[in-house]
Each structure stands twice: as C-alpha cells, then as structure tokens.
Amino acid sequence: MSITDLQKGMATLITVFHKYSGKEGDKTTLSKGELKELLSTELGDILGKSSDKAALDKIFKDLDANADGTVDFQEYITLVACITMLCNEFFTGKK
C-alpha cells in the first residue's frame, strides 16, 4: 500500500513543526523565536521577508489562542490552514 499525497502532506506538516519546536525549550510548542524562524524559512516566499516585530507580535498573539506564551501544534495547524485558504483564494481568483 502506497502513501497518498494527502498523507505525505500531513507527515510534512508534522515534520516541519518538530523541526523548529523545542529549540528553545518545550519540544511540543513553538516559542516566538521558533515561530519567526519557521515563518521566515518555510513561508518566506509567501509572507515576504518581513522583519517587522509588531507584525510578528500580532501573528504570535493571534495564534496563541490559549495565551500561554507559546504556539502549540493545533495553533500551528490553524495558521497553516488559514494561509492555505488565502493561497487557494489567490490562485482561484475567489475572494
């Protein structure tokens, strides 16, 4: 049985999260610094190479739904889903 494209995508989402989580502490969450590195490295082409601290602070605050000072896997997946929806709207011309 071969792995499907969707299963590959899910595995990639998990792998990318864990590539950055735990560099500054808890392996199950992203700190603000880890999130910044993930966004600039993995999504830089989409988000632009913004070094705007205020923009990063807002993204982090909005993502940190439970206000614990970190971004957990569920909060990370929410970000990826939102960006994916925006990309789909851009490429299909729907707004």
pLDDT tens, position by position, 27-50 = 999 998 898 899 889 888 776 655
- Beta-carbon contacts of 71 under 8 Å, excluding residues fewer than 6 positions away, are 29, 30, 35, 60, 63, 64, 79
pLDDT band at 72; cut points 50, 70, 90: very high
Q: For the chain, what percent of residues have pLDDT higher than 90?
A: 35
pTM: 0.79
Write down the pLDDT at residue 63: 80
Tally of domains within the chain: 1
CATH code of residue 12: 1.10.238.10
Residue 85: give the domain boundaries.
5-92
pLDDT computed for residue 15 by the predictor: 97
Q: What is the pLDDT of residue 8?
A: 96
